[in-house]
Structure 1
Amino acid sequence: MLRIFVTGDNHIGLKYANYEKSSLLADSRTEAFRGMIEYANNEKCDLFVITGDLFHDVSKIPKKNIKLILDILSDFSGHVIILPGNHDFYDKDADLWRVFNESAKSRDNVILLTDYRPYEIEAGGDAVILYPALCTSKHSAVDENNLGWIKDEGIIPDSNYRIGIAHGAVEGETIDKEGKYFLMTRSELEDISVDVWLIGHTHVPFPRGLSEEYTAANERIFNAGTHQQTDVNNNTQGICFIVEISKDKKIRAKKFISGKIRFYRREIALTAGEMEEILIRELADIGDNNVVDIILSGAVTLDEYEDRRRIIEGVLSRFIEASYDDYALNKLISK
Structure 2
Amino acid sequence: MYNILDFNPEKLKQWMKENKESEFRAKQIFDWIYKNIWDFDQMTNIPKNTREKLKNSFYIEIPEVVHMYKSKLDDTFKFLYKYKDGNIIESVVMKYKHGNSICVSTQIGCRMGCKFCASTLEGIVRNLSSGEILAQVLKSQEQIGERISNIVLMGSGEPLDNYDNVMEFLNSVNAEYGLNIGQRHITLSTCGIVPKIIELADKNMQITLAISLHAPNDELRKTMMPVAYKYSIDEVIKACKYYISKTNRRITFEYALVNGVNDTRECGFQLIQLLKGILCHVNLIPVNEVKEREFKKSSSNNVKDFYEMLSSHGIETTIRREMGSDINAACGQLRRSYLESKNDLKGV
Question: TM class by shorter-chain length?
Answer: 0.3 to 0.5
Which structure has the highest helix share of the two?
2
**Which has the larger share of strand?**
1
- The structure with the largest alpha-carbon Rg is 1
TM-score computed with the length of structure 1 as normaliser: 0.36
What TM-score do you get using the length of structure 2 for normalisation? 0.35
